[in-house]
């Protein structure tokens, strides 16, 4: 115990000195770093866009090579699947190994939903979010003055090319400032995170030895809303459920057939409305079962989180939250059911007087520790069946149409479970200390973030601990249109990652 405290002391002291070196190194090299980052963001990275995904992997390999890291692609068993990019630095005499993970793929984009002047894969500098009166400053050009309060707009700018960028630049800065490393360092950049990391298990199984580490550090997700530096000890699990409800085989004139032909959009809204009440409580049977209770330390950490409720509501234009009386920190410790999207017929200027042929919705189920994703999906399916639906895996056949009056197609891709690392492990406390050493304000400790990553795989297959250090701004429009990152957060992220990378 004394030894650990001693290590903390020297580590904290050393880090403060080095953090200054790192900061001035970044200041000298920020132009080049930004130039490289903008090129990286310009490569489309939707997970299903195989050709461009490989261009991203190539770009990362080049970034690594330029920094003296030997890089290679890691594949799973399945052929033709997006590879992960891997590299390692062996430190002579090191007895510990720390891995750094980020992902380079991004969520799907609908360019039409982006603000005028913004394109998902044409990164530009903006002075602030455009919806808050920000201005488009134009593309970054070599030699431009860089304002750390400005942002870069583009898919992946925050989630999670920022992870790749900060990890590799932190390593570069450590090497170039002559900092001593005490641990072996491993790098892993995944290309399928946004489609549920569906082959990460295979990559882990086939490369188990290579990926051994005392801990893997995940650089992904936003810092706490207060803006303070953050460590997150867990993530929610996640699974999407796609629902399609069917009406007549062809669109019908709503005058000639209204009242007679069933409307699938009505059926779908009735079904979805039956899943959640007006107070945000999910009405699906046993939905809140299986949850592992919080430890005292975790409960305390939640209580200590800065209170951002009022500020956040103001900023988002919300009078009330979904579950009255629950803070954001508490809300994400509860399993959730969200409607990501709903569509049937057309709205706005394309709206026509028809009874649509089908209506679709995509649900997002977030899971907490204790939940099993398959079981959670089954609860939803049971609910739907109890409402009189016949569940299909495919489009209905003519026979099925005449046999059942309520037909629904339910599609579920791979999901994954939640993960939570104990906050009182030695490695947990070392990382806390390293991150705290780079910040004057108390850092925020989150027992589990709201977002999802397949972190359980690190524990289950590799047998290592896993802890997240998010580096980007919370208002980054992650997963949505107008995604962006505050440039200064990238510089601070590099400093944070460097501090953890050189832990003893």
Binders of its own copies in range 168-227 (CB under 8 A): 221-222
Task: Return phi, psi of residue 184, to 5°.
Answer: -70, 145
* Distance of alpha carbon 268 from alpha carbon 125, whole angstroms: 41
Q: DSSP state, 288?
A: T
Residue 211 near residue 188, CB atoms below 8 Å: yes
CB within 8 A of 448, min separation 6: which ones? 232, 233, 234, 235, 236, 298, 332, 333, 368, 369, 418, 420
| 79 burial type by CB count under 10 A (0-12 exposed, 13-18 middle, 19+ buried) | exposed
**One of 186, 223, 366, 369 touching its own copies (CB under 8 A):** 366
115 belongs to the binding site for its own copies (CB under 8 A): no
**One of 99, 154, 234, 247 touching its own copies (CB under 8 A):** 247
14 versus 222: smaller Cβ distance to its own copies: 222
Q: Segment contacting its own copies (CB under 8 A): 180-188, 352-360, 420-428, 460-468?
A: 352-360
What is the C-alpha end-to-end distance of the chain, expressed in Å? 15
b/e map of 44-59 (b: 16 or more CB within 10 Å)?
Answer: bbbbebeebbeebbeb
Cβ–Cβ contacts within 10 Å for residue 62, how many? 13
Least gap, CB of 107 to its own copies (angstroms): 5
Residue 503 near residue 91, CB atoms below 8 Å: no
Q: Segment contacting its own copies (CB under 8 A): 54-62, 140-148, 354-362, 436-444?
A: 354-362
Footprint on residues 443-462 left by its own copies (CB under 8 A): 449-452
Q: Segment contacting its own copies (CB under 8 A): 56-64, 133-141, 295-303, 346-354?
A: 346-354
Least gap, CB of 362 to its own copies (angstroms): 4
133 belongs to the binding site for its own copies (CB under 8 A): no
354 belongs to the binding site for its own copies (CB under 8 A): yes
CB within 8 A of 3, min separation 6: which ones? none
Q: Segment contacting its own copies (CB under 8 A): 135-143, 209-217, 275-283, 428-436?
A: 275-283
273 belongs to the binding site for its own copies (CB under 8 A): yes
Least gap, CB of 397 to its own copies (angstroms): 9
Chain-centroid distance of CA 32 in Å reads 27
* Distance of alpha carbon 438 from alpha carbon 102, whole angstroms: 21
56 versus 107: smaller Cβ distance to its own copies: 107
308 belongs to the binding site for its own copies (CB under 8 A): no
396 belongs to the binding site for its own copies (CB under 8 A): yes
1 versus 351: smaller Cβ distance to its own copies: 351
319 belongs to the binding site for its own copies (CB under 8 A): yes
208 versus 281: smaller Cβ distance to its own copies: 281
315 versus 424: smaller Cβ distance to its own copies: 315
Q: Segment contacting its own copies (CB under 8 A): 17-25, 93-101, 209-217, 333-341?
A: 333-341
Task: Return phi, psi of residue 16, to 5°.
Answer: -60, -45
Least gap, CB of 292 to its own copies (angstroms): 17
Torsion-angle region of 239 (φ positive above 0: left; ψ -120 to 50: alpha; else: beta): beta
The contact pattern for its own copies, residues 58-97, with x = CB under 8 A and - = no contact, is ----------------------------------------
263 belongs to the binding site for its own copies (CB under 8 A): yes
DSSP string for residues in 469-498:
---B-S-S-TTSTT-EEEHHHHHHHHHHHH
337 versus 490: smaller Cβ distance to its own copies: 337
161 versus 276: smaller Cβ distance to its own copies: 276
260 belongs to the binding site for its own copies (CB under 8 A): yes
4 versus 352: smaller Cβ distance to its own copies: 352
Give, in degrees to the nearest 5, the angle at Cα 248 between 338 and 355. Answer: 70
Least gap, CB of 141 to its own copies (angstroms): 28
268 versus 498: smaller Cβ distance to its own copies: 268
Residue 496 near residue 435, CB atoms below 8 Å: yes
395 belongs to the binding site for its own copies (CB under 8 A): no
* Distance of alpha carbon 90 from alpha carbon 187, whole angstroms: 12
Compute CA distances 222 → 130, 235, 428, 476, 499, whole Å.
Answer: 19, 12, 19, 8, 18
Q: Segment contacting its own copies (CB under 8 A): 84-92, 261-269, 293-301, 423-431?
A: 261-269
Least gap, CB of 501 to its own copies (angstroms): 26
Least gap, CB of 103 to its own copies (angstroms): 14
Token duo for residue 355: 């009874």
110 belongs to the binding site for its own copies (CB under 8 A): yes
Residue 229 near residue 500, CB atoms below 8 Å: no
* Distance of alpha carbon 304 from alpha carbon 321, whole angstroms: 20
């Amino acid at each position: 115990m004394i030894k650990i405290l001693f290590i903390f002391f020297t580590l904290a002291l050393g880090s403060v000195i080095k953090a200054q070196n790192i900061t001035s190194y970044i200041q000298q090299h920020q132009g080049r770093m930004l130039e490289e980052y903008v090129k990286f963001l310009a490569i489309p990275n939707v997970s299903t866009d195989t050709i461009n995904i490989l261009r991203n992997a190539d770009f990362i390999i080049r970034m690594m090579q330029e920094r003296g890291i030997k890089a290679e692609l890691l594949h799973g068993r399945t052929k033709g699947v997006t590879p992960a990019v891997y590299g390692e630095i062996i430190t002579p005499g090191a007895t510990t190994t720390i891995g750094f993970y980020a992902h380079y793929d991004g969520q799907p984009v609908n360019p039409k939903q982006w603000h005028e002047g913004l394109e998902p894969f044409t990164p530009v500098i903006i002075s602030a979010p455009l919806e808050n009166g920000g201005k488009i400053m134009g593309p970054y050009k070599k030699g431009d003055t860089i304002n750390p309060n400005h942002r870069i707009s583009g898919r992946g700018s925050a989630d999670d090319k920022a992870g790749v960028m900060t990890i590799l630049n932190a390593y570069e800065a450590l090497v170039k400032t002559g900092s001593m490393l005490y641990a072996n360092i491993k790098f892993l950049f995944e290309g399928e995170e946004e489609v549920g990391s569906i082959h990460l298990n295979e990559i882990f199984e086939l490369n188990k030895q290579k990926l051994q580490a005392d801990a893997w550090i995940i650089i992904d997700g936003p810092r706490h809303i207060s803006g303070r530096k953050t460590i997150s000890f867990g993530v929610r699990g996640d699974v999407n459920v796609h629902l399609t409800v069917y009406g007549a085989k062809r669109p019908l004139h709503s005058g000639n057939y209204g009242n007679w032909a069933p409307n699938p959009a009505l059926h779908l809204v009735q079904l979805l409305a039956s899943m959640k009440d007006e107070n945000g409580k999910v009405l699906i049977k046993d939905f809140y079962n299986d949850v592992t209770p919080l430890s005292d330390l975790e409960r305390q950490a939640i209580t200590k989180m800065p209170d951002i409720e009022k500020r956040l509501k103001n900023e988002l234009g919300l009078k009330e939250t979904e579950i009255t009386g629950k803070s954001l920190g508490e809300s994400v410790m509860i399993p959730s059911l969200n409607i990501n999207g709903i569509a049937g017929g057309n709205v706005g200027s394309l709206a026509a007087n028809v009874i649509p042929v089908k209506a679709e919705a995509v649900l997002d189920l977030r899971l907490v520790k204790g939940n099993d994703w398959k079981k959670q999906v089954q609860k939803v399916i049971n609910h739907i069946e109890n409402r009189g639906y016949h569940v299909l895996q495919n489009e209905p056949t003519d026979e099925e149409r005449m046999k059942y009056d309520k037909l629904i197609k339910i599609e579920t891709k791979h999901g994954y479970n939640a993960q939570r690392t104990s906050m009182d492990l030695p490695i947990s406390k070392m990382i806390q200390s390293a991150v705290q050493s780079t910040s004057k304000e108390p850092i925020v400790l989150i027992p589990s973030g709201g977002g999802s990553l397949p972190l359980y795989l690190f524990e289950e297959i590799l047998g290592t601990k896993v802890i997240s250090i998010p580096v980007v701004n919370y208002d980054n429009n992650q997963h949505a249109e107008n995604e962006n990152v505050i440039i200064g957060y990238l510089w601070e992220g590099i400093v944070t990652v460097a501090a953890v990378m050189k832990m003893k």
